[in-house]
Structure 1
Amino acid sequence: MNHKNVEVQIAGMTCDHCAISIEKLLTKQVGVVSAAVEYPSARGIVTYDSAKTDEGKIIEAINGTKNYHANVAVPATVPSDGSKNFDLIIIGGGSAAFSAAIKAEELGKATLMINAGLNFGGTCVNVGCVPSKTLIRAAESVHHANSSRFAAIKPRGATVDFTQLIRDKKVLVAQLQKNKYLDVVEDFARLTMITGWARLIDSNSVQVDGNQIYSAQKILIATGSTTKIPDISGLAEIDYLTHRTLFDLEEKPASLTIMGAGYIGLEIAMAYNRLGVKVRIIEFTDRVLRTQSEDISAELEQAMRSEGIEILPNFRAIKFEKREAEVIIHCKCKDGSMTQIRERGRVLVASGTRPNTAKLGIETVGLETDASGHIKVNDQMGTNVPHIYAVGDVANTPPFVYTAAYEGRLAVENAFTETVNRADYTALPWVVFTDPQVAGVGMDEMQAAQAGLPYDVSKLELTNLPRAIVANDTRGFIKLIRHRETDRLLGGRIVASEGGELVQSLAFAIKFGITVKQLSEELYPYLTLSEGLKLAAIGFRKDVKKLSCCAS
């Protein structure tokens, strides 16, 4: 017999009838022998004939429905010897946790990973980077089919099956969650993975679901973050969305009001607008992407407004009211007056994030946090409590998936080896995946001024870059900030269609002390965006408008 069992986690069930419906759906699939689904635990056990089907097809069948989303579950197990003592306990199941687990396995350390909330894989693969970027790229395809920068080309438009797009996204998420997370650690001899809420008892022990107690030499907190929901009257009663729920919504909303103009809100706004959703952004500050300089905000606002996105800066929502088929958003304007916004579609909250520390019991062990609630760590990822480390979005470090993974590895190395590895984010590159993209590394001019450094700025408008000119896409600029006395690069900001592909070169320049003069003297392929780095570097000493092609 080829019968096998697979346990699946199923999101979206609201009652026992949902569980029964999924059981009926599964038993109709070729090769499925039986299915037992429980609503309270959000899990199911499926027995199947491996000669006729596989786990992927079972997951795909569930994800092909309108309301349900499934992933292969990791069974709650304990070591074969029944021990509850480990070298390392990792609280969390995202990229930082898996990076830490991989390093711990390399070092031969017995490790317990305890995860709750999102499925194993965490924010990035389940509700963050993977779903958002695939929808952004899909929306780009639609945009290119509907518009052209060349007068001689008349686009014929695109037909979008929105429901299928979201279902395909769900399949992709399930595949990557399995292939890049669960399969990676499947053969680890010293790793135990369980599902449950962990609470710190002391610097060496945790309690899971108020029941089992586990202990370890070291504890690593990698619980990530979630959307920060503002305390606004009526918001809880309007069935608002966050990025966690939006990306699973198979029915395309007719319109979307986004609260917040940070990078999450802006990426979602551009993607969903291009997919045919009427988008409005409410921002309580004076401009979008407020963390960046005004010229970046202005460039983005112009691009977004040109595509029909409504942007309302200096609008502070103070009350939400549900009236039949619409939501009334009561807003206070900059001059103190009141206005009402009517939304017949959905409201998305994208007003920042908060660290997941509420159920950790950090107060029990005295972990220090900053003003925003993030756990304070030093450059070795250690906290103020001996034996406890914190990494990723829960810590007061840069909130990126790649920094989280970096920190997870670094923390384990520092915890169990004699080496002392320190996190250094001086040359940390980052990207906002709008169109044009915004990318940066190091300081901008305001930060250089605040640091009291002597600095110069060179700003190359893309109207002076041959690659942008021939592509009829001269939106944006490349801006370099250098130390006036040493000629070292302090930082850079790029606003361009594929600006994220350029920023790593600037990161290397900062990290390895390459001067601006050296940047300007390198050879760059003609008619590439990267040539803009050379022209921006030349701009410190020459007017690039007076140069011939390829001249320096």
Structure 2
Amino acid sequence: MTEENTTFLPSLTIIGGGPGGYEAALVAAKLGARVTVVERAGMGGSAVLTDVVPSKTLIATADSMRRVMAASGLGVDLGEAQPHADMHAVDRRILELAGQQSSDIHRALEKRGVRVVIGDAVVTGPHEVTVRRRGIEEGEEPEVITSDAILVAVGASPRELPTARPDGERIFNWKQVYVLQDLPEHLIVVGSGVTGAEFASAYNQLGAAVTLVSSRERVLPGEDPDAAELLEDVFAQNGLDVAGRCRAESVERTETGVRVHLSGEGADGRPYIDGSHCLLAVGGVPNTAGLGLEEVGVELTESGHVKVDGVSRTTVPSIYAAGDCTGQLALASVAAMQGRIAVAHLLGDALKPLRPHLLASNIFTSPEIATVGVTQAQVDSGQYQADVIRLDFATNPRAKMQGVSTGFVKIFARQGSGTVIGGVVVAPRASDLIYSLALAVTHKLHVDDLADTFTVYPSMSGSIAEAARRLHVRV
């Protein structure tokens, strides 16, 4: 008589169907766990339905406009045609694509055997989630789901200012902006972080007059200074107005549009800016209120974020958390990684704790800004000793062929060893080009490993190898 396999595979309930939730669900189901995902809107969460997928689709459309407008410089005769953005068609395509992506994720989960429940969830115990399904009949009792572990991946919502309430008509947050029938005559974007810079860049490329209100000295204050300076130069060349060192005190509707009231030394005496529309990009707040987390012992920060350790575990051992609700870097890739790490820890699979210093990230402005590893600020402060090389794409033959005249690659190599510890790429499709530097940083490659790898000629990636060659030290 043979012994039966008694390997215990836990059950898992996931609250939230965004990248942190659905990625975890797919991995857990593949490893044999019984998984239930509770999502209140649609699979993919806000990342797919109202945030990442829609905004990057808008940006892709804007980039196509950029290439069309630059075509005459490459010898393409557009005749009398005047390209313009049909915002009704643009936004319809954006929302359709987001819906398709959500459906694809839903099907993938069900194919893997994951149970998907559309409804609102509350954590009512260390192993218990109470769910009120959408469309539940009056008087019907909520469902109580018991499982060995719970993963909270509820994301975040746009932060609102008490003096600037979005109305979905003239004043928008980043969830509401995809209802425009016409291109804004003058869009005022409040907030110069990643979200604000991306939307400002996109609408500027689509042909709108754009003013970006920044409370800081420069756009993208937390990013590589060379990259931020180059982006501001491009903004100026494209007619995008940056109102730096200004704070938007309030936003109000006018008869014809909006008025943004200003304060700060950068206002230059201007008490306000008038525009046709305003987009608020002032950060997010975690969707943890009313979820029952503190009642079962999960510790939250003052901002309402869930406290987690390196393996995504909260202060309650059976409850994990992933994504924007944890206060880590607000990126879909980070949420997905946190979710996968949580599953690996729960199921006893091989894992490495979250390593933010290896994170590759991208800002989808035009040009894109991609970074990985050690930053210029860390080198300048003495935290890391590094040899740094910056190589502009202006001399790259592929860049010339494509009409790309701005951008650069920057590599940080550890002094004494030549190990690649960081990198920056500013260029169209920098999000693709950064991958080779991310591999180098993650696997501690030497600059000679990059330099000695064949690259296609001509290619933008050739500049990465060339920059690495310039960091070579004769042995």
The TM-score bracket by the shorter chain reads: 0.7 to 0.9
Contact 1:414–1:421, Cα closer than 8 Å, also in 2 = no
Query: Counterparts of 1:464-475 in structure 2 under 5 Å?
Result: 464-475=395-406
Report deviation, 1:291.
0.9
Contact 1:142–1:275, Cα closer than 8 Å, also in 2 = yes
Residue in structure 2 matched with residue 366 of structure 1 by the alignment? 297
Residue in structure 1 matched with residue 138 of structure 2 by the alignment? none
Is 1:114 aligned to residue 45 of structure 2? no
Query: Counterparts of 1:177-196 in structure 2 under 5 Å?
Result: 177-179=102-104, 181-189=105-113, 191-196=114-119
Query: Counterparts of 1:54-73 in structure 2 under 5 Å?
Result: none
- Cα distance in 1, alignment partners of residues 92 and 245 from structure 2: 37
Q: Secondary structure at the match of 2:282?
A: coil
Residue in structure 1 matched with residue 123 of structure 2 by the alignment? 200
- Cα distance in 2, alignment partners of residues 449 and 393 from structure 1: 29
Q: Secondary structure at the match of 2:129?
A: strand
Contact 1:426–1:511, Cα closer than 8 Å, also in 2 = no
Contact 1:87–1:110, Cα closer than 8 Å, also in 2 = yes
Q: Structure 1 residues 150, 534: closer, same or farther in 2, change over 3 A?
A: same
Query: Counterparts of 1:341-360 in structure 2 under 5 Å?
Result: 341-360=272-291
Report deviation, 1:451.
6.5
2:97 alignment partner, one of 169, 172, 187: 172
Residue in structure 1 matched with residue 201 of structure 2 by the alignment? 270
Q: Structure 1 residues 101, 430: closer, same or farther in 2, change over 3 A?
A: same
Query: Counterparts of 1:111-510 in structure 2 under 5 Å?
Result: 111-116=35-40, 118-148=41-71, 150=73, 152-155=75-78, 156-179=81-104, 181-189=105-113, 191-209=114-132, 211-231=142-162, 233-235=163-165, 240-334=171-265, 339-370=270-301, 372-417=303-348, 419-450=350-381, 452-510=383-441
- Cα distance in 2, alignment partners of residues 234 and 466 from structure 1: 48
Q: Which amino acid aligns with 1:182?
A: H
Q: Which amino acid aligns with 1:361?
A: G
Report deviation, 1:351.
1.2
Q: Which amino acid aligns with 1:435?
A: S
Query: Quick check: which has more Rg, 1 or 2?
Result: 1
Contact 1:146–1:157, Cα closer than 8 Å, also in 2 = no
TM-score by length of 1: 0.76
Contact 1:145–1:157, Cα closer than 8 Å, also in 2 = no
- Cα distance in 2, alignment partners of residues 418 and 103 from structure 1: 11
Q: Secondary structure at the match of 1:130?
A: helix
Identity score, percent:
28
Report deviation, 1:454.
1.8
Contact 2:258–2:275, Cα closer than 8 Å, also in 1 = yes
Q: Secondary structure at the match of 1:150?
A: helix
Quick check: 264-273 or 338-347, which moved more?
338-347
Q: Structure 1 residues 109, 469: closer, same or farther in 2, change over 3 A?
A: closer
Q: Secondary structure at the match of 1:245?
A: coil
Report deviation, 1:211.
4.5
- Cα distance in 1, alignment partners of residues 471 and 395 from structure 2: 15
Is 1:100 aligned to residue 31 of structure 2? no
Q: Which amino acid aligns with 2:131?
A: V
Contact 2:11–2:34, Cα closer than 8 Å, also in 1 = yes
- Cα distance in 2, alignment partners of residues 158 and 508 from structure 1: 40
Q: Secondary structure at the match of 1:142?
A: helix
Report deviation, 1:423.
2.6
Q: Superposition RMSD on alpha carbons, in Å?
A: 2.5
Deviations 1:318-377 (A, max 9, x none): 123333333222111226875333434111111122222122222213323345433222
- Cα distance in 1, alignment partners of residues 273 and 370 from structure 2: 34
- Cα distance in 2, alignment partners of residues 463 and 187 from structure 1: 48
Contact 1:442–1:490, Cα closer than 8 Å, also in 2 = yes
Q: Which amino acid aligns with 2:189?
A: I
Structure 1: runs of 5 or more not aligned: 1-85, 543-552
Report deviation, 1:212.
4.1
Q: Structure 1 residues 420, 465: closer, same or farther in 2, change over 3 A?
A: closer
Instruction: Work out which structure has the larger RCO, using CA pairs closer than 8 Å and 6 or more positions apart in sequence.
Output: 2
Q: Which amino acid aligns with 2:276?
A: G
Report deviation, 1:524.
2.1
Deviations 1:233-265 (A, max 9, x none): 254678521121112333433221111112212
